[in-house]
Amino acid sequence: MVSSSRVRVIDACPLPAEALLNRYRTGGNFADCYVTEIPRTISHAEFVEAFYTTAVFKLERILLRLFLSRPSTDLQAAGLARGELDAFAAWAVEGRAPDQLLLADIGGRTRSWLMVAPAPGSVGTRLYFGSAVVPRRSGRAGKPDLGPLFSALLGFHKLYSRILLRAARSRLARGRRDPPPGRDGPGN
């Protein structure tokens, strides 16, 4: 658990006990968690929508559309956030709770998780983002193996996770800006 003192802009932290992502902390899986705070109350739906509609994440959505034929829109991100959709771009909902969302990628190897919680001792909200990578079973013994690509990209993953959470926090801190009518086409 993160201490009750204020977190820096983005901190790595242990998964909260109630995190849906906790099921991936063992068995050779990789799981991480990052946290930030914002000095106002944020709903889980606001956080999910902000996260998946930042400029940074829109770049990822463009890549998914181009290379995996998995287009997505801001309207779909909003539907996912409100619990109206169970799939978004290259992910499907694996679990939901009133304050959490756990997504699995189409290949079944990665998970993305978002959670909100009241910030202790203040009026504000903690925003959590975590990921998990599920290993392949290799060899006759079926030992879990995350693979050399995972090891090579781990540093980038950690940086990118912080960038994504910082972008969502910044978007929420600025307040929601609705796009002009008709500006929510593919890749937006």
CA distance 94 to 102: 5
Q: Tell me the residue type at 69.
A: S
Check pLDDT > 70 for residue 186: no
Q: Which two tokens stand for residue 46?
A: 């606001």
- Give tens-digit pLDDT for 15-24: 999 999 999 9
- Report the pLDDT value the prediction gives residue 83, as an integer from 0 to 100: 97
- Report the pLDDT value the prediction gives residue 49, as an integer from 0 to 100: 98
Q: pLDDT averaged over the chain?
A: 86
Range 17-56 burial, b when 16+ CB lie within 10 A, else e: eebbbbebbeeebbbbbbbbbbeeebebebbbbbbbbbeb
CA distance 122 to 41: 10
3-state DSSP assignment of residue 17 = coil
Return phi, psi of residue 180, to 5°. -60, 150
133-to-104, 120, 147, 187 alpha-carbon distances in Å = 10, 30, 10, 26
- Give tens-digit pLDDT for 27-85: 778 899 999 999 999 999 999 999 999 999 999 999 999 999 999 999 999 999 999 99
Which domains, ranges and CATH numbers included, belong to the chain?
Answer: 11-133+144-174 (3.30.530)
Across 126-135, average pLDDT? 92
- Give tens-digit pLDDT for 101-111: 999 999 888 89
Describe the chain by its helix, strand, coil percentages, rounded to 5. Answer: 35, 25, 40
Confidence bin at 138 (pLDDT 50/70/90): low
Which contacts qualify for 96-102: CB closer than 8 Å, 24 or more apart? Answer: 97/18, 97/20, 98/44, 99/44, 100/18, 100/19, 100/20, 100/44, 101/20, 101/44, 101/48, 102/20, 102/21
Check pLDDT > 70 for residue 144: no
